């Protein structure tokens, strides 16, 4: 059996595939964060909580209302996205005039509320969500059996990221969005309803997080705390990619997932912190992030 | 000024007689430790406008260091505390050195992420006891003469340290160094153009704040006799932000008031409502940010027209 640095090659490939799955979640989540940050200038601490709510929406939908996985993929992001719209309308909107750190603190409070409510209602233990019938089973890749569901997660995430990128970089709506990011007042003066656009953007970013949650539900245990430590990793991913950079968020999400997977083979103890260490190195070397513009 | 002196006299008197009012001394000490922690945090947020989202790292690292030095290495109480403070100061210099390169929310996210590294190290390292934490940390004695096992003696020791830190932080804020910090808070580019090495001032403030946070953490470890993962956790970092905001950031007494309110709430509510505590804490956060950004003491100072510091 071939080895690299004394580690069997199949083990490395296996962890790389798992890392790619994790990276898909990072990419989806950091994309939403980057879109929100780009237009609103708000670091959405509640992103992990919305991811958790997305997974719970799918779980509750299945258990109580009998909504299957495919409908949950559509309905859960919609429901959680609407919640995001309400939060933007009621709270965030009033904080754009004050310093950006207040947006961070507000969303931190909202994350505490959401996690506390779900913990009170459902307890801290994880709930399992079945893999949909269509996606059960696995491919034999030779070095490992890849569950079809995980391949689907990567495919779905890359597709959604690609579509979002296209929407923002290549359509008229995206052009207005980017213009509003540069200079909101001027765009408003052209007769575009910027507050509405900001509200919808927040809702869309939140919906992306919820979508990641639904995708994650069959892979991991659905629990109220599933998003709270993930969100910090995703923050680091966004900082590495360059705050507000769409491409940066997607690419660094996927790549960091791979690097994390690799670390699990080479030096497992460091796999939890490797993303943060990379963040520190990137900040020293390129303070604006890999894809970010120096302001 | 006279009203303010009166407030301090009343508070000092209350603190001195508190153990005789039927209040549980360990609870009082916990209040003092968290008040000290919040004051240390306020030095950054209130006077330099740097929002550190990972201050539990210094609080917890020092608690672990003091616990390890006194239990495993057999150091004395004072040496153990100083060792803990030194550890958190070094950690502050290290993390602060990276973080002060960026401002605002970037600074917040970097401190948060690096504090998470400290958390994972504490989770996995041998000397921290992993998930169990360090148990049975001895209080020891002062200079081998005054035993601290007695809760009341320990209380007055903690109170003395707290007062010293409080006065010292006040001194820092009113010193020329503190004036420069406030200049940076008001207008950083201007401070740079006046020739101040802004990053160096910010790093010094960060290391000072981390050291005081560490002092609070190591006292907490001695008072309760244990150091656990919750001391370095992100929720503790969040709590100290809330304490400072709620009491009033940039005021001397604000963090003290905020810490008392938050710790008391947690102590009494967690038995009553369980996990709903975090919902209540979150709701207070939202209210603070939306309509109460000055905090209790900030509002009082505004109403009565006394701005200080």
* ipTM here: 0.89
Residue B246: inside a domain: no
Count how many domains chain B has.
1
Strand partners, A139: A146
Residue B9 resides in a domain: no
- Shortest CB distance from B278 goes to which of A99, A100, A112? A112
CA neighbor of A60 nearest in space, from A205, A52, A150: A52
Question: Containing H/E element for A138?
Answer: strand A138-140
Token match 């201007």: residue? B190
Confidence band of B306 (pLDDT split at 50, 70, 90):
low
Domain assignment of residue B276, yes or no: no
Residue B282 to residue A287, Cβ atoms within 8 A: no
Residue B251 forms part of a structural domain: no
pLDDT-based confidence at residue B140 (cuts at 50, 70, 90): confident
Among the partner-chain residues B106, B117, B275, the one whose CB lies closest to the CB of A119 is: B275
pTM of the predicted structure, to 2 decimals: 0.92
Closest to B50 (Cα-Cα) out of B209, B243, B190, B230: B209
- Which residue's entry shows tokens 């307890």? A123
Contact B276/A95, CB-based, under 8 Å?
A: no
Asked if B279 and A243 come within 8 Å (Cβ–Cβ), the reply is: no
Which residue in this structure is represented by tokens 């190195």?
A281
The answer to whether the CB atoms of B113 and A106 lie below 8 A apart is no
Provide the angle, in degrees to the nearest 10, between the axes of the packed helices B25-48 and B254-273: 130
What is the domain extent for residue B104?
24-232
Q: Which residues of A88-113 are buried (b: 16+ CB within 10 A; e: fewer)?
A: beebbeebeeeebbbbbbbbbbbbbb
Phi, psi of B138 (to 5 degrees): -80, 145
Mutation target among B278, B281, B283, B291 for the A interface, most CBs of A within 10 A: B278
Helix (H) / strand (E) element for A68: namely none
Least CA distance to B109: which residue of chain A?
A: A235
B118 to chain A: closest CA residue: A273
How far apart CA A34 and CA B89 sit, in angstroms, is 34
The whole-number average pLDDT for the span B138-165 is: 89
Domain boundaries, chain A: 28-226
- pLDDT at residue number A295: 55
Q: Which of the four pLDDT bands, split at 50, 70 and 90, describes residue A193? A: very high
A140 has a pLDDT exceeding 70: yes
Is B275 in Cβ contact with A116 (below 8 Å)?
yes
Q: What is the pLDDT of residues B65-105, one digit of tens each?
A: 999 999 999 898 999 999 999 999 999 999 999 999 888 88
Contact A243, A287 (CB under 8 A): no
For B113, which of A102, A105, A235 is closest by C-beta distance? A235
CA–CA separation, A121 vs A201, rounded Å?
A: 30
Query: For residue A272, which residues of chain B lie inside 8 Å, CB to CB?
Result: 120, 123-124
Q: What is the mean pLDDT of residues A104-110?
A: 94
The fraction of chain A above a pLDDT of 70, given in percent, is: 98
DSSP for B126-151, written as a single string: TTTTGGG-B------EETTTEE--SH
Is B264 a member of any domain? no
pLDDT of A146 higher than 80: yes
d(CA B235, CA A100): 21
Nearest CA in chain A to B106: A239
Chain B residues within 8 A of A235 when measuring between CB atoms: 109, 112-113
Our CA-based measurement puts residue B93 at a distance from the nearest CA of chain A, in whole angstroms, of 14
Closest CA to B252 of B166, B124, B160: B166
A112–B279 CB contact, under 8 Å: yes
- The verdict on residue B5 lying in a domain is no
**In whole angstroms, how large is the CA radius of gyration of chain B?**
19
């Amino acid at each position: 059996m071939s080895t690299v640095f004394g580690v069997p090659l199949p083990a490395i490939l296996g962890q790389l595939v798992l890392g790619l799955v994790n990276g898909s979640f990072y990419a989806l989540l950091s994309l939403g964060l980057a879109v929100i940050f780009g237009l609103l200038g708000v670091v959405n601490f509640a992103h992990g909580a919305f991811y958790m709510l997305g997974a719970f929406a799918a779980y509750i939908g299945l258990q109580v209302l009998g909504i299957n996985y495919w409908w949950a993929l559509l309905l859960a992001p919609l429901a959680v996205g609407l919640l995001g719209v309400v939060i933007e309308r009621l709270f965030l909107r009033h904080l754009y005039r004050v310093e950006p750190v207040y947006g961070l603190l507000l969303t931190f409070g909202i994350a505490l509320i959401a996690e506390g409510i779900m913990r009170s209602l459902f307890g801290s233990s994880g709930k399992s969500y079945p893999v949909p019938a269509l996606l059960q089973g696995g491919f034999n890749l030779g070095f490992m059996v890849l569950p079809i569901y995980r391949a689907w997660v990567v495919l779905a995430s890359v597709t959604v990221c690609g579509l979002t990128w296209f929407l923002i970089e290549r359509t008229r709506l995206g052009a207005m969005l980017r213009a509003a990011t540069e200079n909101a007042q001027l765009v408003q003066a052209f007769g575009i309803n910027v507050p509405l656009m900001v509200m919808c953007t927040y809702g869309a970013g939140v919906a992306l997080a919820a979508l990641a949650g639904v995708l994650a539900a069959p892979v991991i245990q659905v629990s109220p705390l599933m998003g709270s430590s993930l969100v910090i990793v995703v923050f680091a991913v966004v900082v590495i990619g360059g705050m507000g950079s769409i491409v940066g968020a997607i690419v660094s999400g996927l790549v960091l997932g791979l690097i994390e997977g690799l670390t699990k083979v080479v030096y497992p103890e460091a796999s939890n912190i490797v993303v943060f260490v990379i963040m520190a190195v990137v900040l020293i070397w390129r303070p604006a992030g890999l894809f970010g513009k120096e302001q | 000024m006279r009203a303010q002196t009166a407030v301090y006299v009343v508070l000092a008197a209350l603190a001195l007689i508190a153990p005789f009012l039927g209040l549980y001394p360990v609870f009082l000490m916990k209040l003092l430790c968290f008040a000290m922690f919040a004051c240390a945090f306020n030095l950054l947020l209130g006077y330099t406008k740097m929002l550190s989202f990972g201050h539990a790292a210094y609080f917890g690292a020092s608690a672990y260091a003091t616990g390890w030095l006194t239990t495993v290495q057999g150091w004395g109480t004072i040496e153990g505390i100083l060792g803990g403070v030194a550890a958190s100061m070094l950690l502050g210099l290290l993390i602060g050195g990276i973080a002060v390169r960026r401002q605002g929310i970037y600074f917040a996210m970097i401190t948060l992420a690096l504090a998470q590294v400290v958390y994972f190290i504490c989770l996995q390292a041998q000397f921290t006891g992993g998930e169990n934490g360090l148990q049975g940390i001895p209080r020891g004695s002062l200079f081998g003469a005054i035993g601290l096992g007695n809760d009341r003696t320990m209380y007055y020791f903690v109170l003395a340290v707290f007062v010293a830190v409080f006065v010292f932080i006040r001194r820092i804020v009113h010193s020329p160094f503190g004036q420069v910090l406030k200049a940076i808070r008001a207008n950083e580019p201007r401070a740079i153009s006046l020739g101040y090495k802004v990053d160096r001032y910010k790093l010094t403030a960060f290391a000072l704040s981390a050291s005081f946070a560490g002092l609070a953490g190591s006292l907490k470890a001695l008072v309760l006799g244990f150091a656990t993962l919750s001391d370095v956790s992100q929720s503790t970092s969040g709590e100290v932000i809330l304490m400072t905001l709620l009491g009033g950031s940039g005021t001397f007494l604000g963090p003290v008031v905020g810490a008392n309110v938050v710790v008391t709430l947690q102590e009494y509510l967690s038995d009553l409502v369980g996990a709903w505590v975090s919902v209540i804490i979150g709701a207070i956060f939202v209210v603070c940010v939306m309509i109460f950004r000055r905090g209790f003491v900030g509002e009082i100072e505004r109403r009565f027209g006394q701005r200080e510091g």
